[in-house]
């Protein structure tokens, strides 16, 4: 199991507030400065050397550990009374604070546009089918002689009509809507 060498924090994350409190705390800064100059220290060492109460050191160490600034060392010592004394060191991690949303959040923001595109495409498709049905019913109502003559001429022209049939209107609508979503997404990708 490998450890990450960085901590990624979003501005919306509650951990960013914790980090800002630590950076604003004089005691936390003293502990970090001391541990940067010395490799390790225990709670008692920090209390004596920084001339601070042990409970203040303990409280600030917990905050520093939970935020990832410092970590407990694997080695420890035993006191004269038989208590385990933990040693602390700075963690070798970079903290990256980012204001950006994760990619999943960006994709979720585009979903309504896809839903509207699907609904619009369906509406155009339905309109086009209704219009085609109405036009075909009007031509069926024509006079018998004219209809027979028309059918004869239509049979002759059918190969030409089939090859020159226009692309359905709904396909153009769908292509235009998807292209618009793509262009707007590219322009606003950094803003999302």
Q: Can you give the pLDDT at residue 2? A: 46
The pLDDT of residue 139 is 56
- Give me the pLDDT at residue 143, please: 46
The list of the chain residues with pLDDT below 70 reads 1-6, 99-105, 137-167, 190-192
pLDDT at 69: 85
**So what's the pLDDT on residue 154?**
61
| HEC readout, the chain | CCCCCEEEEECCCHHHHHHHHHHHCHHHHHHHHHHHHCCCECHHHHHHHHCCCHHHHHHHHHHHHHHCCEEEEEEEEECCCCCEEEEEEECCCEEEEECCCCHHHHHHCCHHHHHHHHHHHHHHHHHHHHHHHHHHHHHHCCCHHHHHHHHHHHHHHHHHHHHCCCCCHHHHHHHHHHHHHHHHHHHHCCCC
Tokens of 92: 């070798």
Domains detected in the chain: 6-98 (1.10.10.10), 103-188 (no CATH)
What digits encode the pLDDT tens for the residues 48-86?
988 999 999 999 999 988 888 888 888 777 878 878 888
User: What pLDDT is attached to residue 55?
Assistant: 92
């Amino acid at each position: 199991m490998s450890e990450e060498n960085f901590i990624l924090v979003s501005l919306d994350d509650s951990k960013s507030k914790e980090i800002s409190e630590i950076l604003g705390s004089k005691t936390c800064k003293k502990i970090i400065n001391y541990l940067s100059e010395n490799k390790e220290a225990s709670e008692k060492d920090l209390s004596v050397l920084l001339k601070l109460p042990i409970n203040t050191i303990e409280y600030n160490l917990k905050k520093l550990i939970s935020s990832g600034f410092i970590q407990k060392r694997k080695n420890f010592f035993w006191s004269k009374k038989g208590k385990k004394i933990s040693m602390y060191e700075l963690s070798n991690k970079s903290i990256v604070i980012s204001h950006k949303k994760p990619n999943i959040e960006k994709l979720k923001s585009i979903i309504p546009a896809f839903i509207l595109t699907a609904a619009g495409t369906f509406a155009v498709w339905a309109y086009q089918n209704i219009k085609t049905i109405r036009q075909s019913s009007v031509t069926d109502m024509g006079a018998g002689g004219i209809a027979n003559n028309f059918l004869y001429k239509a049979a002759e022209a059918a190969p030409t009509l089939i090859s020159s049939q226009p692309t359905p209107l709904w396909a153009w609508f769908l292509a235009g809507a998807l292209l618009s979503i793509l262009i707007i997404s590219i322009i606003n990708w950094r803003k999302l």
